[in-house]
Amino acid sequence: MTVEPIMDDSRDQFPIGMRVLAVDDDPTCLFVLETLLRRCQYHVTTTNQAITALKLLRENKNNFDLVISDVHMPDMDGFKLLELVGLEMDLPVIMLSANDDPKLVMKGITHGACDYLLKPVRIEELKNIWQHVVRRKKFDSKDSNNSGSQDKPHLGIGGGSGSAGTLSDPNGKLNKKRKDQDEDEDEEHDENVHDDPSTQKKPRVVWSVELHRKFVAAVHQLGIDKAVPKKILDLMNVEKLTRENVASHLQKYRLYLKRLNSMVNQQANMAAALGGTDSSYLRMGSLNGLENFHTLNGSGQFHNTSFRSFPPSGLLGRLNTPAGMGMRGLSSSGMNQLSHARSSSSSTVDQADSQQVIHPGNHNGDVLQGMPMTLGLDQLQHIKGVTHVRELSTAIDNRAIFPICSGLLDAKTNIGSSSNPLLGVANTTLMLEQNPQAVQGGEVFGNHSPVSLASLNSELSSPLLDHRRLNENWSTAAQSSGIHSNSFQLNDCFKQTTQSTMHQSNVRDDMSKRALQMGSNLHDVSSATSVSTELQDRRADMHCGASLTSSNAGKISNNAGPQGWVDHNPDSSYHSNVMCNTMNSMIPVQAAVGPFVQSSEPKNFHPDMDFNSIGESNFFDPSYTKHEEVNKSNVETSLKLKQGLRDQRKPQESYISSSFGSLEDIVTAMVKRVI
Amino acid sequence: MLGLGADRLWADMNRLLALLFHQGVLDEQFVQLQQLQDESSPNFVCEVVTIYFHESEKLLKNLRGLLMEREFSDYKKMGIHLNQFMGSSSSIGAKRVRNVCVAFRAASEQNNRAGCLRALELLEHEYCYLKNKLHELFHIEQQRLLAAGVRYPMQN
């Protein structure tokens, strides 16, 4: 391990002299990294142990500007280090890995990494990493006006663009949320002015897990309404903690609770809408075991507002993108539709729960961002549901295209979360959270699958007619609410058919993959096009042209009417609709859509087709246990469809049910063909 | 003249490098390492590669040990070793070794022991080849420096 002395003069030439701490257990990579960083004229400290790195950082967090850490380390998981650094030191952390698995990348981002680099690291990438420091400083200096966190005057970053800063900083550090600071701004600013107006440097309070636990305990003891900073401070009895620190922390905590509350309320509303009533809400509350939820019970407000993506893993401030959530558009009508789609009340309740759960997740992540939610593992377990949702929602595009899917998925997670030991604090990755979600979703749908299958099988009217009918419904639906609703119905249908065979692991992967994709960009038509192109390539016999899909995708992106696909033949429009929705959700649905489209394409059906691609053969086969990937893709598809559906959907309840019915017809027809 | 010897060695070295790049044994990243070598770190490439060899041999021994176990089932552990091997190989530009690691990892993810064994053998083979060639390269480089140094002591 080498440590370089800090030379103040070099800090004035930022980024030259930026102090980097590099952590990697692989000596080869560490040496190369160190040399590369030196070549970029940074000050480099290296260590091959995460524990040593933490010790160095804790000794004096002002020693470093940036941390680069490998993901896989023997003594501590890189993500855990990431969280701790973000929590305690609020430093930008860049993850490094030889593994380019998108799930890991997603995990890194959701845990708050500024960036995720793949080995081999190139010097060009390292030359730009100083941006993360600047970005963070910008927000910090904003907050420093309020909370007295230290500033770096020589960087010349003023506290100016608060809102811009928060918006553009995906990491959502504790102090970044301008909104969180607003209430405290006056009093804290005044206090800062009183205390030491000339010096902006104040020792930043690190809201460690222990400290936060004390804080939460004190707040609960006092009662959330009666908790005032002075009393909290007295109860906490922590040295060197000032009232201002507590006040700003309390404000963030309140915002977090508010957000949770509205999510809970939304879930309650959804439960109510779905017929679950209070039981589901309470059930959800109990499932989550969230103290907060209990206390916030019964606000009864239904929030139709779009939710911002939720900071993942409830862990803290390392929230990545407070992008729009996928839960947008969850209207009661939507919920009704959802309930229609799922005719069993139990699943409705489940869904309501999940949806409720999701909402919290989808809620504006700002609150969480502001909250140094260093809850203990046990506490996190309680917030699992929320966490999952958050992470999922984080992955969800701002356009909230996947409202129902997310909700269902989240519900599943929440439902499973109480019993799912996987949801740990540090590693509540999307994958973990998604797994239970997916599983839950599968279970929920599973209830319906026999029903839907039966209905599917019983309605073997002419496929074309069905398709046409479906198309008409879809057209109408699309016209009224966009293609998304159609995809939603379709999704429900498919989901039902594929529920019974969903495997947890697959769903997990699926969910994480999906979340990843969802996170990436809903409105990336080009990727939609590429996905459609891929689908095309995979199924040479697919009728849906890339142009069709891309045009449809474009339409979907623009929430345009389904004129495009209405004009096409029922099958292709159906396909394209599905594909578009799928692509719209930007999930690499190749596997999902492939079999999906293929099976739904009567003209192209080949009984002896090689179903080696994911999910092809089993898409409509309720017993496709052997094709776990299909499940994955199905979930993906359904998720995507849901997402697409969610977006600007205002379908009529009756319409939805009728559409759904016809969707079932089509699916039935398709199943028949596939089988 | 020693100077000519140095030039010839220089040509030998370049030829060997060209061959290795052509074969895909080394890639662009190795060039980056070479560019990182300068007056402040004159033996950088040699040092890095030495560290790499040392670590890789440990990893290969671990992998071999794991697969030779009678009841081997710890694919996860193997995956961890592989991940490190992949990372370090890609960091020094050992492209072929890294590619074999990728295939090895795929076999390991499928719990395919036979596939893993095959991949391990291929990995060992590729690694040996790389090691020999790099040793040769360093040897030529050393001789060249010696030759150049003796003849033209002020030059590097």
Is residue A132 pLDDT above 70, yes or no? yes
pLDDT value at position B50?
95
Q: Does B55 touch chain A (CB under 8 A)?
A: yes
Which chain A residue's Cα is nearest to B86?
A98
Residues of B in contact with A99 (CB under 8 A): 83, 86
Count Cα atoms within 13 angstroms, Cβ side, for A381. Answer: 9
Question: What is the tally of structural domains in chain B?
Answer: 1
pLDDT value at position A3?
58
Q: Does B87 touch chain A (CB under 8 A)?
A: yes
Average pLDDT, whole number, for chain A?
55
- Determine the distance in angstroms separating the CA of B4 from the nearest CA of chain A, rounded to an integer: 33
pLDDT value at position A255?
77
CB atoms within 10 A of CB A11: 18
pLDDT band, very low/low/confident/very high, at A275 (cuts 50, 70, 90)? low
Q: Whole-angstrom Cα distance, residue A503 to residue A505?
A: 6
Quick: pLDDT tens for A359-380: 433 444 344 343 444 344 444 4
- Determine the distance in angstroms separating the CA of A276 from the nearest CA of chain B, rounded to an integer: 42
B51–A123 CB contact, under 8 Å: no
A32–B55 CB contact, under 8 Å: no
pLDDT value at position A9?
52
Q: Does B52 touch chain A (CB under 8 A)?
A: yes
Q: Does B57 touch chain A (CB under 8 A)?
A: no
pLDDT band, very low/low/confident/very high, at A106 (cuts 50, 70, 90)? very high
Is residue A173 pLDDT above 60, yes or no? no
A119–B80 CB contact, under 8 Å: no
pLDDT value at position A416?
36
Q: What angle do CA A549, A550, A556 make, to 5 degrees?
A: 85
Q: Does B43 touch chain A (CB under 8 A)?
A: no
Q: Note whether ipTM > 0.85 here.
A: yes
Q: Does B46 touch chain A (CB under 8 A)?
A: no
A26–B87 CB contact, under 8 Å: yes
Peptide bond into A562 cis (omega under 30): no
Q: Whole-angstrom Cα distance, residue B121 to residue B109?
A: 17
Most confident range (mean pLDDT) of A93-107, A224-238, A521-535, A546-560 is A93-107
Facing A28 at nearest CB: one of B36, B44, B48? B48
Is residue B29 pLDDT above 90, yes or no? yes
pLDDT value at position A472?
44
Is residue A477 pLDDT above 60, yes or no? no
Is residue A233 pLDDT above 70, yes or no? yes
B32–A98 CB contact, under 8 Å: no
Residues of B in contact with A72 (CB under 8 A): 80, 83-84
More confident residue, A609 or B123: B123
In whole angstroms, how far apart are CA A18 and each of A41, A70, A90, A204? 8, 19, 16, 20
Residues of B in contact with A506 (CB under 8 A): none
Residues of B in contact with A123 (CB under 8 A): 32, 36
pLDDT value at position B104?
94
Contact assessment for residue A553 and residue A601, using Cβ atoms and an 8 Å cutoff: no
At residue A308, φ and ψ (nearest 5 deg) are -85, 160
More confident residue, A647 or A14: A14
Residue of A24, A25, A30, A32 for testing the chain B interface, max B β-carbons within 10 Å: A32
DSSP reduced 3-state for A126? helix
Facing B91 at nearest CB: one of A29, A99, A123? A29
Residue range A346-353: mean pLDDT, rounded: 40
Q: Does B62 touch chain A (CB under 8 A)?
A: no
Residue of A4, A29, A629 for testing the chain B interface, max B β-carbons within 10 Å: A29
Quick: pLDDT tens for A191-217: 444 444 444 455 667 778 888 888 888
pLDDT value at position A673?
59
Question: What percent of chain A lies above the pLDDT cut of 90?
Answer: 8
A72–B29 CB contact, under 8 Å: no
pLDDT band, very low/low/confident/very high, at B94 (cuts 50, 70, 90)? very high
Chain A and chain B share a number of CB contacts under 8 A equal to 63
Which chain A residue's Cα is nearest to B29?
A120
Most confident range (mean pLDDT) of A93-102, A407-416, A619-628 is A93-102
pLDDT value at position A234?
84
pLDDT value at position A4?
54
Residue range A137-150: mean pLDDT, rounded: 57
Is residue B20 pLDDT above 90, yes or no? yes
Most confident range (mean pLDDT) of A154-158, A334-338, B71-75, B151-155 is B71-75
A98–B87 CB contact, under 8 Å: yes
Residues of B in contact with A28 (CB under 8 A): 48, 51-52, 55, 87-88, 91-92
Whole-prediction pTM: 0.43
B88–A70 CB contact, under 8 Å: no
pLDDT band, very low/low/confident/very high, at A306 (cuts 50, 70, 90)? very low
More confident residue, B140 or A448: B140
The one-letter amino acid code at A665 reads: D
- Determine the distance in angstroms separating the CA of B13 from the nearest CA of chain A, rounded to an integer: 23
Facing A28 at nearest CB: one of B36, B83, B91? B91
Count Cα atoms within 13 angstroms, Cβ side, for A220. Answer: 14
Q: If you write DSSP's letter for every residue of A212-226 in order, what string do you get?
A: HHHHHHHHHHH-TTT
A32–B93 CB contact, under 8 Å: no
CA-atom Rg of chain A in angstroms: 25
pLDDT value at position A564?
38
Residues of A in contact with B84 (CB under 8 A): 25-26, 72, 98
More confident residue, A17 or A572: A17
Most confident range (mean pLDDT) of A108-117, A306-315, A334-343, A448-457 is A108-117
pLDDT value at position A261?
77
A32–B83 CB contact, under 8 Å: no
Which chain A residue's Cα is nearest to B49?
A28
- Determine the distance in angstroms separating the CA of B152 from the nearest CA of chain A, rounded to an integer: 29
Q: Whole-angstrom Cα distance, residue A649 to residue A485?
A: 6
pLDDT band, very low/low/confident/very high, at A493 (cuts 50, 70, 90)? very low
Residues of B in contact with A27 (CB under 8 A): 51, 55
Tokens of A67: 């941390």
pLDDT value at position A470?
40
**For chain A, which residues lie within 8 Å of any Cβ of chain B, measuring from their own Cβ?**
25-29, 31-33, 35-36, 38-39, 70, 72, 97-99, 119-123
Q: Does B132 touch chain A (CB under 8 A)?
A: no
Q: Whole-angstrom Cα distance, residue A531 to residue A557?
A: 15
Q: How many residues does chain A have?
A: 675
Residues of B in contact with A25 (CB under 8 A): 84
Q: Residue A3: CB partners within 8 Å, gap ≥ 6?
A: A45, A56
pLDDT band, very low/low/confident/very high, at B3 (cuts 50, 70, 90)? low
A98–B90 CB contact, under 8 Å: yes
Residue of B26, B91, B104, B109 for testing the chain A interface, max A β-carbons within 10 Å: B91
- Determine the distance in angstroms separating the CA of A28 from the nearest CA of chain B, rounded to an integer: 5
First to last CA, chain A: 63
B84–A26 CB contact, under 8 Å: yes
Is residue B22 pLDDT above 90, yes or no? yes
Structural domain of residue B129, as residue ranges? Answer: 2-35+42-152
- Determine the distance in angstroms separating the CA of B84 from the nearest CA of chain A, rounded to an integer: 7
Sheet with A43-47, edge to edge strand ranges: A43-47, A19-23, A66-70, A93-97, A115-118
CATH number of the domain at B49, please: 1.20.120.160
Which chain A residue's Cα is nearest to B42?
A35
Question: What percent of chain A lies above the pLDDT cut of 70?
Answer: 28
B90–A119 CB contact, under 8 Å: yes
B83–A99 CB contact, under 8 Å: yes
Facing A98 at nearest CB: one of B36, B52, B86? B86
Contact assessment for residue A143 and residue A153, using Cβ atoms and an 8 Å cutoff: no
pLDDT value at position A222?
83
Q: Does B32 touch chain A (CB under 8 A)?
A: yes
Facing A120 at nearest CB: one of B51, B84, B90? B90
Token pair 């890609």: residue: B90
Contact assessment for residue A144 and residue A197, using Cβ atoms and an 8 Å cutoff: no
More confident residue, B72 or A324: B72
Q: Which helix (H) or strand (E) holds A656?
A: helix A653-674
Is residue A256 pLDDT above 60, yes or no? yes
At residue A41, φ and ψ (nearest 5 deg) are 70, 35
